[in-house]
Amino acid sequence: MSALFIPGLLVLLFTRVTYNRVIGLILTVALIATSVYKGYTNTFMLIVVDAFSLTAGFWIAEKMKERALKKT
């Protein structure tokens, strides 16, 4: 269940910290790749769920950026 939400939230967190959604995505992918390398993510389905969550987080970060630009 956490694989469904945490990667997307990490993308949003890193996007807010770095002010760049691509860098936020890259940092999150690096964390997940390390998790896979260490053996914490061992099923293909879990990797697919992580990828879906990353995509959703990236999409939400884009929408947040658009909303922030409309305010100014």
Per-residue pLDDT reduced to its tens digit, 8-64? 999 999 999 999 999 999 999 999 999 889 988 888 899 899 999 999 999 999 999
Dihedrals phi, psi of 19, to nearest 5 degrees? 60, 25
Q: Where are the domains of the chain?
A: 2-71
Q: How confident is the model at residue 71 (pLDDT cuts 50, 70, 90)?
A: confident
Per-residue confidence (pLDDT) for residue 43, from 0 to 100: 87
Per-residue confidence (pLDDT) for residue 13, from 0 to 100: 94
Per-residue confidence (pLDDT) for residue 3, from 0 to 100: 85
In DSSP notation, the chain reads -HHHHHHHHHHHHHHHHHS-HHHHHHHHHHHHHHHHHHTS---HHHHHHHHHHHHHHHHHHHHHHHHHHHH-
